[in-house]
Structure 1
């Protein structure tokens, strides 16, 4: 189920579970979805965050995965950290939304880092100005079109054979919440030309 929540500092260390609560005045409108991620070393708890800030023309999608090194006997995410200058333009992330409307897929570049706020969490993030680029807005629009599933497949920067895979199903109620959350960003995206 989606939750509205405060910033990343509310993560429960080592579990990648977020505090539930109301959005404070002036903060971004964000939805959070709990799930699981398959890593080369086994399954981990994960969460998908969707944020829309239409006043800043900003749309953000994050995958937060628990169990990161240096926690004892946890997965080493170094192969996924970046981007380095040579990797920054490499599209190692595939976002796929499958539902009644068909399948929408986006291959894109992302940033990846160990969370400074929460020990034991690793963050993958793609951020786009909705008034400049429409491709992430198209993914958000697909998530808002009824029951669907978002699949996130992440290749490593250092070793592309190492992958992290996560899937998040959205029922009708969740889809409606997504639509309400991203409506402002989608409205701005419709006014822009699609970038090649």
Structure 2
């Protein structure tokens, strides 16, 4: 897969509630190292301010903030490593993890660690308008690996709900979806009432 992959502006999947209301739009991304590395570099190098990220699994949601711009992002043996000045870092398998000659990665682990799917998403509230924007990945066992939530007009920096939406916070979503999906900004993103919308 070419590292210059660009998706299209139309969602690859639209998910609706039982009564037909819009719930989620999804733009699938090829789960390959050559595609995922530049997307993740873009997110963490250029849009680190205001994002929340971590695994989102049944029974637990981790939404950490970047402590600052990463000091380095490297790729080795299929793992993307994002380092911060605070000493914190994380490793995310985005490709083939082969191990070393002395300690090769068993085939079953290699398949489990490698991403099986990745996607950009836009989630909708009860009023049928967007309330959340992000990117997520799953491993070969279909377990959540990473969820990234882009800055949200309805959530303050301290994670409290905004009394008044700040639509300028859509800048990251608009830049990222413009770059990777060829999407122009939409007025629909500014029509919602937030998480309390009817």
Bigger fraction of residues in strand:
1
Which of the two has higher C-alpha Rg? 2
TM-score higher than 0.5? no
TM-score scaled by length of structure 2: 0.28
